Amino acid sequence: MMIDIDTLLAWGAAFKRVTAGEIIFNEGSQSQFYYQLVSGTIRWVNINDEGKEFLQVLIAPGESFGELPLFDEGPFAATTIANTDSVIIRLHRATFHQLLRESPEIHLSFSKLLAQRLRFKFLLIKEMANHNPEKSISSLLNYFKETQKNICPKCNKINLTRQQIADMTGLRVETVIRTMKQLHLKGELLIEKGKVYV
């Protein structure tokens, strides 16, 4: 979901710079702001007791993140970390709610965004329950191809590392590498100079 930056600024939003590796907010903390990425990349993750990350989603410029607490008043469901030096814009929670009340089209867009993210989670959970790495990875890559997310729209190159795919599917990176090679041999994806194309 992207709210026009001029609209956000008119409502009192402010830019904030974050450096690579910086935590923007932690899972379990309370939300005070609506967040939208202006430039850079960030990841939304859950971190287990051993420090392993489970990648929920990669956020691209123009996308919002951390919306759940704005709607249910609960804590953040995941931690957000800057992958690269990034710029975010944030709007205070109460002002965001007023903006939604006065702009039903923006409110409807958020409903659609939350439904899309929920649908993606259902896909991941279903594939994890199958315990079939080939099917899980194929389904994930097909989803990205259909939605044009995490993929180059011109060349169909996947813009995720094998480690990120592993973190997203709950598989070991070695399993992802082996499975992607098998999919390549079957002609279901192309691996060329280490890059993956669907």
In the predicted structure, residue 153 carries a pLDDT above the cut 90: no
> What is the share, in percent, of the chain residues with pLDDT greater than 70?
99
- Burial annotation 19-34 (CB, 10 A radius, 16+ → b, else e): eeeeebbeeeeebebb
DSSP for 71-133, please give it: HH----SSEEEESSSEEEEEEEHHHHHHHHHH-HHHHHHHHHHHHHHHHHHHHHHHHHHHT-H
* DSSP symbol at 5: H
148 burial (CB, 10 Å; 0-12 / 13-18 / 19+) is exposed
What pTM was computed for the model? 0.79
Q: What structural domains does the chain harbor? A: 5-115 (2.60.120.10), 131-197 (1.10.10.10)
Q: pLDDT of 95-133, one tens digit each? A: 999 999 999 999 999 899 889 888 888 888 888 787 899
